Amino acid sequence: MPTIATDDGVNIFYKDWGSGQPIVFSHGWPLSADDWDAQMMFFLKQGYRVIAHDRRGHGRSDQPGTGNDMDTWVADLAALTEHLDLRDAIHIGHSTGGGEVARYVAHHQDRVAKAVLVASLTPNMYRSEDNPSGQPPEWFETIRGGVLGNRAEFYRFVPENPFYGYNLDGTETSEAVIANWWRQGMAGGALAHLASVDSRLEDYTADLEKITVPVLVMHGEADQVVPFASSVPRAVDRLQKGSLKAYPGYSHGMLTTHADVLNPDLLAFIRS
């Protein structure tokens, strides 16, 4: 398996396929690079070089007891892009990976051409006076309790319900999609997954405001994890070259359930 070793000796697994302009994918909680299969195969066929890594503590990467925080995850991503000497890259992040991409791009724009934030937690997703549509404190405590309790059972509940919107009327459930989410989640470490809750309580406003490259914000209007109103309008307002693509009725996991729609939209933005 291809890996790089970080400065603190942690092995980070990554996939690197094809040639051409690089597209780098950052996955969401509690998944792995495998969550990008539909996008990596699509863009590989379009002539791009596609790269995705398992975040520290997730998937096939090491599960250390330290460094399970956004700043270290961004440093790991920077180490990977430097190791592969990636330039003129497109960075695409989903959910927690959106925070990773926003912070990475804010500090490494010399290597970046464009970025995409998909169902991203940026600028923040917690409820406050400035963000009344954000998630309440008990929502975050439910995530913590699920990881600390019966994690295997909780990792069935999440994809069966809010992640893919399978709890909404008229939605056709896919057992294979649910099982694949569970497989990815259980491959990672509970410690990193618990620490990811803290990354959802961070504010990424300053990161967004530093970004000067074009950024596409893609978000489902039926997202139950990062509510549309809590994140999207404010994110676009804080980007110097931000644009929005909204999807009525689409869930947090729309990259999987509607890859046939989102992949061409991503390609159009990259080629624009």
User: Which H/E stretch holds residue 160?
Assistant: helix 151-160
Reply yes or no on whether 203 is catalytic.
Answer: no
Give the H or E element holding residue 175.
helix 175-187
Point out the catalytic residue in the list 91, 94, 219, 252. 252
Q: Which entry of 223, 230, 231, 251 is annotated as an active-site residue? A: 223
Q: Is 94 a catalytic residue?
A: no
Catalytic hit among 26, 32, 61, 95: 95
Place of tokens 């863009």: 43
Note the residue count of the chain: 272
Buried b (16+ CB within 10 A) or exposed e, 172-185: eeeeebbebbbebb
Alpha-helical regions (H) of 56-136: 70-83, 96-107
> DSSP character for 170?
T
Q: How far is CA 24 from the centre of its chain?
A: 11
57 touches 188 (CB < 8 A): yes
- Encode burial over 34-53: b for 16+ CB neighbours within 10 A, e otherwise: bbbebbbebbbebebbbbbb
Long-range contacts of the stretch 266-272 (C-beta < 8 A, 24+)? 266/39, 266/43, 266/92, 266/116, 266/216, 266/218, 267/42, 267/43, 267/46, 269/114, 269/116, 269/214, 269/216, 269/243, 269/245, 270/23, 270/48, 270/90, 270/114
* Residue 223 annotated to the active site: yes
Element (H, E) at 24: strand 22-26
What distance in Å separates the CA atoms of residue 29 and residue 212, rounded to the nearest whole number?
A: 27
Catalytic residues: 95, 223, 252
